[in-house]
Structure 1
């Protein structure tokens, strides 16, 4: 399945934290929790394109980092990858180190349950250096798939 097909099958709504909902979309483009009245990614595309003009990071480089994360996350953490939630420049290296790396947030299936709304997911941060080599990872949060109060 291509990234375009995956994106079309992902809910279009934004969460309260401003991130795209990671749940699968139904026929109307929204998950069971969201609907057309919710704020969507389309509402922010013009803002995102304005920010992209001001940022020196190309979409190609972000795509390269995202693909690297998709390839290694499951093996690195030892559990199935659910989704890549975000990819950002890692600016936490301080002023002394001019070489910026990358940080990606991913959701990992930690425990499969029936029904799947009771699955336990883990949110992990994976860090990469400027050459896209993995430098570390850590779990930042654990929650049930249906946890509507998550702000991670």
Structure 2
């Protein structure tokens, strides 16, 4: 059985591998389906680096991994300037 920490690590690996971007943090994790079916992980990613860093563009990705840590699905939920996470 995959732990939450291992699922988060695998999800970050998958998202960064597919997007070619740097993960900023894991901002959410929850069970996907029944106990051993996998995890849904929300990852914050730096989409565009800018100078200064406060002008970076971030994005939220949601990845679902199965009980073995393999990617089932992922999608970008939204993009926003750093410091404006609560605003669309």
Corresponding residue for residue 146 of structure 1 = 83
For the pair shown, the structure with the greater C-alpha radius of gyration is: 1
CA contact (8 A) 2:11 2:65 kept: no
Higher RCO (C-alpha under 8 Å, 6+ residues apart): 2
| Structure 2 unaligned regions, length at least 5 | none
Over the aligned positions, Cα root-mean-square deviation in angstroms equals 2.5
2:55 — aligned with what? 118
Q: What is the TM-score when the length of structure 2 is the normalising length?
A: 0.82
The aligned counterpart of 2:7 is: 65
User: Residues of 2 paired with 1:123 and 1:79: CA distance?
Assistant: 12
| TM-score, length of structure 1 as denominator length | 0.51
Structure 1 gaps of 5+ residues are 1-56, 92-96
Q: Which has the higher strand share?
A: 2
